């Protein structure tokens, strides 16, 4: 189920988080199968503490949450849009129940609906710079290190695919694995 005015504001009486949760429970009780919760994110001035509280409340349902159609109002200047977009993206990315974020920004000869990432020559606008910066920041990148005396090496990584290569003397071994959402530390063993 995907709806708007759930995460953007608490002032619209027609679509609040409590009404949304009630509707989701009603649908589940009626036999509807749900794979996740969609939250359209058409923001003017985002309220990060409110976003976090709403995501926390929706997370109690135990379903993955997606922020969909994320944009910032075109009534604001491009620099302000970029600042607010970064706030929304950071809040969504940092929440453990948010599985994905989709932006509502498509290039069209007559402009975008609300927020563009690029101009008509495909040159980044401030919002595009924010997206590029965060995508770069949220990558683990290449890490090199040495194992401890027990042959262990630890690192913190973002969710995603990893390739690990181990070298000892003239021997090399590689392994590919995924870091998926979960509470447990992921352990990977490589034999040489």
Same domain, 192 and 132: no
**CB 19, CB 57: distance < 8 Å:** no
Same domain, 42 and 62: yes
> Distance (Å, rounded) from C-alpha 13 to C-alpha 5?
9
Q: What is the CATH number of the domain that holds 76?
A: 3.20.20.80
Query: Which of 8-17, 119-128, 156-165 has the weakest average pLDDT?
Result: 8-17
Question: What pLDDT is attached to residue 142?
Answer: 84
Using the 3D structure, point to which of 90, 114, 137 is the last residue of a domain.
Answer: 137
Place of tokens 């683990």: 140
In the DSSP assignment, the letter for residue 134 is H
| 57: its two tokens | 């409340």
Residue 179 has pLDDT above 70, yes or no: yes
Same domain, 104 and 158: no
Same domain, 21 and 101: yes
Same domain, 115 and 152: no
Same domain, 11 and 55: yes
Domain housing 118: 2-137
Question: What pLDDT is attached to residue 107?
Answer: 67
For residue 182, CA distances in Å to 14, 158, 185, 186 come to: 34, 12, 8, 9
Same domain, 19 and 84: yes
Across the range 76-103, mean pLDDT stands at 95
Across the range 82-108, mean pLDDT stands at 92
Structural domain count of the chain:
2
What are 3-57's pLDDT values in tens digits? 888 898 766 555 688 888 999 999 999 999 999 999 999 999 999 999 999 999 9
Question: What's the predicted TM-score (pTM) here?
Answer: 0.80
Same domain, 163 and 76: no
Same domain, 47 and 111: yes
Same domain, 80 and 161: no
Same domain, 123 and 153: no
| 94: its two tokens | 């940092």
Better-scored residue on pLDDT, 12 or 135:
135
Same domain, 133 and 148: no
> Distance (Å, rounded) from C-alpha 73 to C-alpha 79?
12
Question: What pLDDT is attached to residue 19?
Answer: 86
In 3D space, the residue among 49, 138, 117, 146 whose CA is nearest the CA of residue 88 turns out to be 49
């Amino acid at each position: 189920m995907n709806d708007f005015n759930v995460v953007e504001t608490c002032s619209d009486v027609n679509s609040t988080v409590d009404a949304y949760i009630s509707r989701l429970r009603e649908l589940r009780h009626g036999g509807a199968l749900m794979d996740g919760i969609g939250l359209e994110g058409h923001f003017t001035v985002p309220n990060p503490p409110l976003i976090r509280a709403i995501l926390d409340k929706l997370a109690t349902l135990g379903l993955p949450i997606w922020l969909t159609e994320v944009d910032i109002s075109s009534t604001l200047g491009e620099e302000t849009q970029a600042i607010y977009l970064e706030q929304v993206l950071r809040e969504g990315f940092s929440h453990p129940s948010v599985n994905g974020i989709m932006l509502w920004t498509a290039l069209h000869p007559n402009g975008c609906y609300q927020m563009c990432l690029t101009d008509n020559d495909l040159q980044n606008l401030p919002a595009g710079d924010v997206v590029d910066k965060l995508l770069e920041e949220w990558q683990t990148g290449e890490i090199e290190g040495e194992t401890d005396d027990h042959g262990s090496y630890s690192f913190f990584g973002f969710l995603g695919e990893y390739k690990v290569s181990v070298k000892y003397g003239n021997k090399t071994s590689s392994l590919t694995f995924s870091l998926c959402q979960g509470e447990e530390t992921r352990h990977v063993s490589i034999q040489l």
